[in-house]
Chains A and B, each alone.
Chain A
Amino acid sequence: MNIKTRKGFDINLAGKAALQLGAAEQSETFAIKPTDFVGMHRPKVVVREGDVVKAGTPLFFDKQLEKALYTSPVSGEVVEVKRGDKRKLLEIKILADKQIEYENFTKYSVSDMANLKGEDVKESLLKSGAWINIIQRPYGIVANPDETPRAIFISAFDSNPLAPDYDFLYKNEGQYFQAGIDALKKMVDVPIHLTTNGNAEVSAIFQNVRNVEQHTISGPHPAGNVGVQIHHIDPINRGEVVWTIAPYGVIQMGKLFLDGRYDASKKIAVVGSEVTTPQYYETYIGAKVGKFLKNNLKQDHVRVISGNILTGTAIEKDSYIGFYDNIVTVLPEGDRPRFFLSDGWLAPTSRLSFHRALGLLSFLNPKKERVIDTSLNGEERAFVETGVMEQVVPMDILPLQLVKSIMAEDYDGMESLGIYEVIEEDVALCEFVDVSKHRIQNIVRQGIQLLREG
């Protein structure tokens, strides 16, 4: 299927990563944070401080989903099990070995893959930690292995601001990607939809993949969001479950079967206007970002974000990258008052805006790469403006009405207005353009939470 979308908005930020691998010292510690897994019920830790682990050794599991293990990305010593209020598990830190050792999982040759059994695939994925790459919709949570999805969706590009180039990230990993797809197909015999960018050249590794249904989508962000693709290819209805996996997860599954190990190595992009040399680095899941930022920042008053600027999480400069994230973005903090006549709400400005209201001139130069700070640019107000959110959601969904139904805790309304089809990232642009400065993503998650509990 060739999908074309018109709605959306490309945010062109300064600080794109150059297509090169930076040479930075590897970080000494790595951490897995249960908070990265949205909707995790209650993590149960299975290691203690001082334990020695290998890459693929279980660290904890979710009491509501005991089969899926969350494992260590590297080998080394568990140096801290950090807890917060009410003993809430915050992170498990591992001091990494110089040479990574791996837990052994069954290894298959390319020809063996044909004899792979679905049950074995599932067991390996669950035990190794590769399973948690599978996200289920509705809800956007780690998939339940006891359910069979209607289909699997993979978005083969990222349209978010400053998104990494998948071609660069996954160069030479085509055979693993194929093996991952084959394994998934063995496990659940459902259509696997792979959607590539219709506006750009398709990466080699996605071009000739077998066992998938190929689609293209062209349009502004959020065309790369898997939720948008699902909506156009085969939308989710009440009572249905589909799975989504990022290409990284599929490749990791491929490595699990072809190499017999849980390989958490990944390339990450360090980007943003405040980064001196925005480029890629090779590391592992859960890396401490400090090493990549050391001597690499233009100034100190910055916000470091694990993930992209639309959906990411602010972290400390020496904190750890989120489990699913492959970029670290650094922006200037915007915590300064702006006088209304010089650069405030009445003054003409070239700061980025989707709108063209009085003095908002950025539309004159849409291609310009911009430096944007984290200012809220206003205050929270009642919903007054209508019709704007609709312009950035390329789905047959009424975002404002959906948000209002969530705020009113109207369960029927939420369901029938399409809450099963969206997660935070799909409404991130709504949050960006909202004149009334509401936390739309947070509201949508609250709605999802209500439905999960209800």
Chain B
Amino acid sequence: MKFLHDILEKQKPMFEKGGKLEKFYYLFEAGESFAFTPPTTTPAKGAHIRDAIDLKRMMMTVVIAMVPALLFGIWNVGYQHFLATGNPDAALLDIIMVGTIQVLPIVIVAYTAGGIVEVIFGIIRKHPINEGFLVTGLLIPLVMPPDIPLWQVALATVFAVVIAKEAFGGTGMNILNVALTARAFLYFAYPTDISGTVWTYLGEGGAKNAVDGYTGATALSIAAEAPVGTSVDTALQSATSGWAGAESLFSFNNMLIGVIPGSIGETSALMALLGAIILIVAGVASWKIMVSGVVGALVMGLIFNLAGSTPFMQMMPHYHLIMGGFAFGIVFMATDPVSAAQTETGKWVYGFFIGLLTVLIRVFNPAYPEGIMLAILLMNVFAPLIDFYVIQANKNRRLKRIHV
């Protein structure tokens, strides 16, 4: 590979100070350091050897952990399409084709739009282009409904990267989770495009392609609207009873595996679990946040069970873990190391409250039955405060030791 490196090296002077394309140095640098680890060695004083890890590898680990959710999402978008349009026995290849055609452009648009913003900021601010976008660029598509217009993906991505990240000083400085900001932007700016029947791709012409009995609802919205006196279980079972081929669409197993309508990558708790295993084994994301998040959701679910007056409140707590975007959110969003609590003790508190608030918002928010996004964004804001108290406790321990 030396010849390739030599070719790159030859172009370098053009981008260096005084060169024709000096302005684009960091674009060149990003490309070169993507292909080749730079030959930089450790300084003359300090640690002379360094861990083999770098940020690129770390970020790629997260990307790999998201791949099961992405692949499943592609299949599921296709499958839900055929299910809704009355062809549940479509061939696997057709399903994947439809899914790919629908999902891939969203991924490409998110990466392109975000990438351009990153490069522009890199050039203006004269800093290297950051690897963090490898992850954000895939997270954004995975939390989008399959029917989302591409221009909205681009707009949301640009908004999120500029307002949620670069405005705060770039990667490592952001307070809010960037991908969730993109989703929240759409939720508030274009509410009609991110609720209702958008959770299934119905093809050109939209709702008129749908079969009899088709419902555009998600499991959460059905649960939220279950009439008093019945149970969520019954509501979930009867919601699709008139829909040929999808009579028990919202069964426990379907919700666990993710064969239900929803955001592209969010439906499958199982794929999120697989991602969680990869992240935890790789030591890249905090298992403390994941575990405490699940505990928080279960605790709140149990409290509602005890006090519950509506069917949604009386729903078995573990259903919260497999419905909506909880699993995906707690695994991939809540564990974002920059916007999460950074102290180890803080991570327990942070995760717990995300779980708790998710269920609370789900049950009490009349406008929107999903809560994980708002819970994480809210706790993003509180993370520095949690850290503050953990750090204060550490300082106080130190103060207490003083010999009098």
Interface residues of A (CB under 8 A from B): 11, 150, 235, 237-238, 240, 303, 305, 309-314, 329, 331, 333-340, 342, 344-346, 349, 351-360, 362, 372-379, 381-387, 390, 396-398, 400-401, 416-418, 424, 428, 431-437, 439-442
Contacts and interface: CB of A to CB of B under 8 A. Distances in A.
6 contacts: A344-B35, A375-B42, A378-B37, A396-B397, A432-B51, A434-B51
A325 B95 CA distance: 67
A375 to B, nearest CB: 6
A237 B37 contact: no
Contacts of B36: 337-340, 344
Given A313-B45, A314-B48, A435-B54, A401 B37 contact: no
Contacts of B281: 356
What is the interface of chain A mostly: helix, strand, loop, or mixed? Answer: loop
Interface stretch (B105-113, B126-134, B257-265, B364-372): B126-134
Contacts of B45: 312-314, 441-442
Contact of A401 (B39, B171, B391, B401): B391
Instruction: Indicate the member of B36, B40, B46, B171 with the most A CB atoms within 10 Å.
Output: B46
A342 to B, nearest CB: 6
A313 B47 CA distance: 9
Contacts of B347: 387
Given A337-B5, A340-B35, A342-B1, A381 B47 contact: no
B310 interface: no
Given A310-B47, A312-B48, A398-B391, A435 B402 contact: no
Contacts of A434: 50-51
Contacts of B18: none
Given A335-B39, A355-B58, A379-B128, A360 B394 contact: no
B49 A374 contact: yes
Instruction: Indicate the member of A240, A303, A362 with the most B CB atoms within 10 Å.
Output: A303
Interface residues of B, number: 62
Interface of B: 1, 4-5, 33-58, 60-61, 64, 128, 130-132, 170-173, 281-284, 286, 337-338, 340, 342-344, 347, 387, 391, 394-395, 397-399, 401-403
Contacts of B399: 416
Nearest to B170: A382
Nearest to A374: B41
Given A238-B402, A374-B42, A385-B58, 17 more contacts: A310-B47, A311-B47, A346-B56, A354-B53, A355-B282, A357-B61, A358-B57, A359-B57, A362-B52, A375-B42, A375-B50, A379-B33, A379-B128, A401-B391, A418-B398, A432-B51, A435-B51
A305 B283 CA distance: 32
B43 A360 contact: no
Contacts of A344: 35-37
A382 B174 CA distance: 11
B283 A356 contact: yes
A355 B401 contact: no
B379 to A, nearest CB: 15
Contact of A377 (B37, B284, B394): B37
A345 B391 contact: no
What is the interface of chain B mostly: helix, strand, loop, or mixed? Answer: loop
B171 A381 contact: yes
Instruction: Indicate the member of A313, A340, A372, A434 with the most B CB atoms within 10 Å.
Output: A340
Contacts of B53: 353-355, 357, 360, 377-378, 433, 435
A309 B286 CA distance: 30
Contact of B55 (A303, A381, A400): A381
A348 B64 CA distance: 14
A59 to B, nearest CB: 23
A358 B51 contact: no
B389 to A, nearest CB: 13
A365 B281 CA distance: 16
